[in-house]
Amino acid sequence: MVFSAFAELYLASGEGPPGLLPARQQMAFSLGWHIVLACFGVAFPAMIYVVHRRGIVRDDPVALGLAKRWATVSAILFAIGAVSGTVLSLEMGLLWPGLMGRYGDVLGLPFAFEGLSFFIEAIFLGIYLYGWGRMPPRRHLAMLVPMAVAGVVGTFCVVSVNAWMNNPTGFRLVDGEVTDVDPWRAMFNDGAFLQFAHMWVGAFMVVGFVVSGVYAAGLLRGRRDEHHRLGFTVPFVFATVAAIAQPLIGHVLGMRVHDTQPSKLAAFELATHTEGPAPLRMGGLLVDGEVVGALEIPRLGSIIARNSLTAPIPGLDTVPPADRPPVNITHLAFQTMVGIGTLLALLVVVFWLARWLRHDPLANRWFLRVAVVAGPLAVLALECGWIATEVGRQPWTVWRVLRTADAASTSTGLWWSYTGVLLVYLGMTVGAIVVLRSMTRRWRAGAKSIASPYGPGAGPVDEAQRAVGERG
């Protein structure tokens, strides 16, 4: 994030309206923050469902305990996810009036359906969180199902809007006027399903690796109980399926980029001029129009991006200079995403291979260390993937239809709101970490439930547990 901020600062200085740069930065920052929590909203209910169901069906207190803890954690994560999602809704108008005023009725429909799925998710979250001990267990468990379904629909809808920005359709421009609007066609644009699949599977990778990483850390510290083994395994199984599916989805999506957004592909591949067969350039930067420091593997670029030994990859020379995206950010972000995705796929293969060969990977400290790092790596891959597709689309907000400079607000005070967002989100991050850490401390000290420290609810039992937690 920091890197992209500085690089964009450099690239965007001195062009466009005064709101352009702070609008971009504020959107990038608030979306980059929210996207991690959105992943939890999408993928976490499914994982909670698995352990909660196991707890009920097999009468397994360990699994039920995990479900309760994960539910409590999700109360925090979903709350800050809900408010940071609201920030994005308002930012659509505050930062991008040029986009919304002109194309609001073209792209708005999936947002409306997304609103409905957010509704469903919020309603059943409320029921689920407060339903412990207040509902028949099976019905209580069933409350997770609408949440998981809403996660799928919501992801599709939000990603559909982004896919529309990459593949604008469902309208015609006649003498600069938007006519023949077909919101359904815009919603189900050609890129929507693939982009959705990529994001949805990515969400399971992020949550799967982050949550299993937390329990891998506990195992590393010698907490080798069933609680930690199950807490590791369930999310890791989800992450396994996702990590193996993701390279395939990514590959198909990548081949689409050649057909629909050649300049983005050129930036991904650091291709200054069209060549075929094209090499794969690992790492490297574009300095004064020359590629520096890249490791070139012949033909691999064509194979990966085009499914061919010889097919050419279009170069930046086919794109007018004014229409070229910031190449270095796009290239590095893209390759970081692909690199991490490949490593994570390898990691899960190694894990299950070891299990198959009757080794216990959870007894191997090196494996556990890697599993801990896999969580942050998956988040980094998510951020990089998002940066790659967004920055790679520049200078367009809507591909070849609306320039970002024309979409941004022309207000002058946007640096203030950007600074405010930075400060508030910093505080929110610190608050979430403080509270989540204190919760795990209390759980480790043996607290069965987390009660608030005020009011009659702070009963003597919990006070005692808290006192133990403070010392431990």
Partner 1 sequence: MDLSDVVATAMFTGVVLYGLFGGADFGSGFWDLTAGGARRGGRLRVLIDHSIGPVWEANHVWLIYILVFLWTAYPSAFAAIMTTLFIPMSLALLGIVLRGADFAFRKYSATIAQARLFGALFAGASLITPFFFGTVVGAIASGRVPAAGYGDLVESWVNPTSFIGGILAVGTCSFLAGVFLTADAARSGDPALAEYLRPRTLAVGVVTGALAIAAIAPIRRDAPTLGDGLLGRALPLIVVSAAAGVITLVLVYRRRFGWARVSALVAVAAIVIGWAVAQTPWILVDEMLIADAAGARSTLIALLVVVAVAAVTVLPALGYLFWLTQTDEWARDETARTG
Among residue numbers 79 through 118, which ones bind partner 1 (CB under 8 A)?
A: 79-80, 82-87, 89-90, 92-94, 97-98, 100-106, 108-109, 111-116, 118
d(CA 134, CA 136): 7
Report, in Å, the least distance between residue 448 CB and partner 1: 6
Alpha helix segments (H runs only) across 357-445: 365-393, 404-407, 414-444
The count of residues in the chain is: 472
What DSSP designation does 46 have? H
Nearer to partner 1, 188 or 238 (CB): 188
> Which one of the spans 192-200, 287-295, 381-389, 408-416 is the region binding partner 1 (CB under 8 A)?
408-416
Site for partner 1 in 278-307 (CB under 8 A): none
d(CA 176, CA 169): 15
d(CA 329, CA 105): 32
Which sign, positive or negative, has the C-alpha torsion 406, 409, 412, 414? negative
Report, in Å, the least distance between residue 231 CB and partner 1: 16
Q: Which of 142, 120, 147, 119 is nearest to 131 (CA)?
A: 142
> Which one of the spans 129-137, 227-235, 257-265, 345-353 is the region binding partner 1 (CB under 8 A)?
129-137
Other beta carbons within 10 angstroms of residue 437's beta carbon come to 10
Report, in Å, the least distance between residue 422 CB and partner 1: 13
Task: Read off the amino acid at residue 297.
Answer: I
Site for partner 1 in 426-455 (CB under 8 A): 428, 431-432, 434-435, 438-439, 441-442, 448-455
Nearer to partner 1, 257 or 447 (CB): 447
Nearer to partner 1, 352 or 415 (CB): 415
Site for partner 1 in 8-37 (CB under 8 A): none
d(CA 457, CA 257): 56
Question: Total binding residues for partner 1 by CB under 8 A?
Answer: 90
Nearer to partner 1, 118 or 268 (CB): 118
Q: Which of 377, 145, 149 is nearest to 243 (CA)?
A: 377
Nearer to partner 1, 298 or 459 (CB): 459
Of the residues 49, 78, 200, 351, which one makes contact with partner 1 according to CB under 8 A: 78
Q: For residue 277, say if its preceding peptide bond is cis, omega within 30 degrees of 0.
A: yes
Report, in Å, the least distance between residue 163 CB and partner 1: 17
Instruction: Work out whether 133 is an interface residue with partner 1 (CB under 8 A).
Output: yes
Of the residues 61, 173, 470, 472, which one makes contact with partner 1 according to CB under 8 A: 470
Nearer to partner 1, 394 or 409 (CB): 409
Which sign, positive or negative, has the C-alpha torsion 282, 284, 285, 290? negative
Report, in Å, the least distance between residue 152 CB and partner 1: 14
d(CA 188, CA 391): 23
The H-or-E segment that residue 356 falls in is: helix 327-356
Site for partner 1 in 330-389 (CB under 8 A): none
Report, in Å, the least distance between residue 386 CB and partner 1: 21
Which sign, positive or negative, has the C-alpha torsion 28, 31, 37, 38? negative
Site for partner 1 in 32-71 (CB under 8 A): 68, 71
The SS3 of residue 173 is strand
Instruction: Work out whether 468 is an interface residue with partner 1 (CB under 8 A).
Output: no
Instruction: Work out whether 401 is an interface residue with partner 1 (CB under 8 A).
Output: no
Write the burial class of residue 263 (CB in 10 Å: 0-12 exposed, 13-18 middle, 19+ buried): buried
Of the residues 17, 18, 56, 72, which one makes contact with partner 1 according to CB under 8 A: 72
Site for partner 1 in 179-198 (CB under 8 A): 181-184
In sequence order, the 6+-apart residues with CB closer than 8 A to the CB of 199 are 155, 159
Nearer to partner 1, 89 or 318 (CB): 89
d(CA 151, CA 432): 22
Report, in Å, the least distance between residue 439 CB and partner 1: 6
Instruction: Work out whether 469 is an interface residue with partner 1 (CB under 8 A).
Output: yes
Nearer to partner 1, 135 or 291 (CB): 135
Instruction: Work out whether 466 is an interface residue with partner 1 (CB under 8 A).
Output: yes
Nearer to partner 1, 170 or 279 (CB): 170
Nearer to partner 1, 66 or 347 (CB): 66
Report, in Å, the least distance between residue 411 CB and partner 1: 6
Q: Which of 48, 52, 49, 200 is nearest to 117 (CA)?
A: 200
Nearer to partner 1, 115 or 298 (CB): 115
d(CA 130, CA 228): 25
Nearer to partner 1, 113 or 399 (CB): 113
Task: Read off the amino acid at residue 164.
Answer: W
